[in-house]
Structure 1
């Protein structure tokens, strides 16, 4: 034992950090737990952000959405699927992920992941007061690896989805203001709201008569909303809202609706799911994805482009290059990666479509099957990429 202790203590920080940087996040965290010396070496690298884990493809989180009002000891399941070394592996999420996301000091609450941005989950905790039977929704960014939290203003309505323009700045309030992160929420009841982490409350966006909101995405200071014309089931638009930046002493974000974009129909096919949105954070491009209710019929991908007169339009994208689309119930992502094959869409829903990979090149589909004792139909899905920061 003494020789082993001397051996572990003799490794320099730079050597330990070089090893850690070659490990995926799950092994990276285990490596950090081997002994105090290894933990200290990794922590010193984390403090200067000079020791990241190996590049990680998105994880798919799946959690049961039954049992709304639960006690803290009754944590409903949270599982993770991740792609590693070009293989599909179904693994239970680390205990720290489950306990941190699902724990709450409130006697009766419903914990729920309603969005993600890079390595951050966006969590909603629905809290009910037994005295007057009222409820509030506490929202916050949460990094399951570092366990950092950045709070958002509370809401009084049930949330379908939250998106953010960028990851939050988990430091001082002053740095958060300088970071200029904008957040948008789509609530049940056809309600939209925007805020910044430093705001004291959400700004409610007035509902436009005749339109039913279906999905949202935010790029810099522009909010995009997919909406359906209520009197025409297959007529969809994308609304673009300018989010107006205000001085630091203003406690509410403002907005201005600028234009509508027609979304092309999926030829003359019926049973079409509503379009969803996905952004390429690197190029600032917005993709609009349409699919049939029977996923095996495939997807169509459109990219928003500007015409010469400055007006936007939708053009079908048949070649994504090195980009891969990841679609789920609560979070859609565009990832630049050359290892997964070109023109692929990884989709995961709680509908009968399940989980699979669709090729835009030949319009084929490859199913991904879960263990026979695992029920996927009762799960909500969300993509995120675990990272220490």
Structure 2
């Protein structure tokens, strides 16, 4: 041992725990294991991948996780892609049993229960915020939902909106937090040109709170924009429709559609998953005045995209190797998270790669959420 080496080792071996946790939050599974194995002090300062709970440091670094909800028991399973680790959490909350996830904004879930019940739920803080029951005549028959903001101190101006896609334009179910009665808004075909080609399939609407508008994608590639009055749900919202239809060949190839807000560029990203081997196409939909601009996206550069039905978002890459990747709510061999590499056009997990997604498992009730530091004290 060289002179002074023992002193140097003492310095880095006794590095502050907060610093170690900050560094480890940027590492992916295998890298984290190696980092933790450097010395005894580092190993004791950082939890094992399979020992952490949802109140651990992992949930405090604002890393996305996939939540799977088990309707019969009310339990949830958290999957952290950065660590390729899962944990099932017994929530011990009887009111969650028989519920289902509708959509998510950050770490707040909009949930329904039975024919009429609707409420917000935060799985990290275990806070439930009830909404008035849905109207008896319509029950819980609206398949697509969104809301305008997380349920924090400013949530009094939050709108909750559901869509029923059987007609044109879609019916709208809405309430503003603090109101006591839901409102149903129906629209006449003739008022909007009676264009039967512009009907919609269930997917995740994108709410732009600053403008109080919602983007919805038509199944043929057209875009609908719903404008909501910022002061009242009594006044009927208005629809505008933009864009040309996709080719018949493209329409027939689509297996699933996901949408996410494109914060840096405005508009939305539309992710098409095709029947043919599960190939992935991404398009940017952006309004330029009254004209819709569509652009094919071939790279996410230094960002990672997390997509699921009811909750999708684009984030700066938080770990080396995750840039230009898409995380779907899919698993290989039941417990290994899968991402799609836009550069290689392949699906990957830590021990798997393939050009198609046919042998991957997609949980029925799973959605990506973003733990928010405002709800936690470190």
User: What's the TM-score, normalizing by structure 2?
Assistant: 0.68
1:80 aligns to what? Answer: 78
Query: Is 1:241 aligned with 2:226?
Result: yes
Give me the whole-angstrom Cα distance separating, in 2, the residues matched to 1:367 and 1:384: 20
Residue aligning to 2:144:
161
Unpaired segments ≥5 residues, structure 1:
1-14, 32-51, 66-73, 127-134, 229-234
Instruction: Please give the root-mean-square deviation of Cα atoms over the aligned residues, in Å.
Output: 3.9
Asked if 1:197 is matched to 2:164, the reply is: no
Contact 1:20 1:53 in 2 (8 A): no
- Residue 261 to residue 350, structure 1, CA distance change in 2 (3 Å): farther
Given that residues 159 and 186 in structure 1 are in contact (C-alpha distance below 8 angstroms), is that contact kept between their aligned partners in structure 2? Answer: yes
The change in CA–CA distance for 1:223 and 1:164 in structure 2 (over 3 A counts) is same
Partner of 2:62: 56
Structure 2 residue aligned with 1:330: 310
Is the 2:54–2:124 Cα contact (8 Å) retained in structure 1? no
Are the aligned partners of 1:328 and 1:382 in contact in 2 as well (CA < 8 Å)?
yes
Shift of 1:342: 2.3
- Say if 2:222 and 2:241, in contact at 8 Å, map to a contact too: no
2: CA distance, partners of 1:150 / 1:281: 28
Which residue in 2 is equivalent to 1:379? 364
Cα 1:125–1:297 shift into 2, 3 Å: closer
Residue in structure 2 matched with residue 91 of structure 1 by the alignment: 87
Equivalent-residue separation in structure 2 for 1:279 and 1:369 (angstroms): 31
Q: How has the CA–CA distance of structure 1 residues 28 and 360 changed in structure 2, closer, same or farther, with 3 Å as cutoff?
A: closer
Does the residue aligned with 1:162 lie in a helix, a strand or coil? strand
Equivalent of 1:144, from 119, 123, 128? 123
Aligned-residue offset at 1:381: 1.4
Report Cα offsets for 1:202-260 as digits up to 9, x if no partner: 333426563134222211211111223xxxxxx332201111112xxx46464111222
> Contact 1:119/1:384 (CA < 8 Å) preserved in 2?
yes
Q: Distance in 1 between matches of 2:183 and 2:148?
A: 16
State the partner residue of 1:303.
284
Deviation, 1:287, is: 1.0
| 2:267–2:287 Cα contact (<8 Å) kept | no
User: What SS does the corresponding residue of 1:328 show, helix, strand or coil?
Assistant: coil
User: 2:238 & 2:218 partners in 1: Cα distance?
Assistant: 17
TM-score, scaled to structure 1: 0.66
Distance 1:227 1:269 in 2: 11
Q: CA deviation at 1:188?
A: 7.5
Return the alpha-carbon distance in structure 2 between the equivalents of residues 213 and 259 of structure 1. 15
Give the Cα–Cα distance (whole angstroms) in 1 for the partners of residues 146 and 81 of structure 2. Answer: 24
- 1:118 corresponds to 2:106: yes
Q: Unpaired segments of 5 or more residues in structure 2?
A: 1-15, 26-46, 353-359
- Within 1, Cα distance between the matches of 2:332 and 2:181? 34
Instruction: Return the alpha-carbon distance in structure 2 between the equivalents of residues 325 and 350 of structure 1.
Output: 16
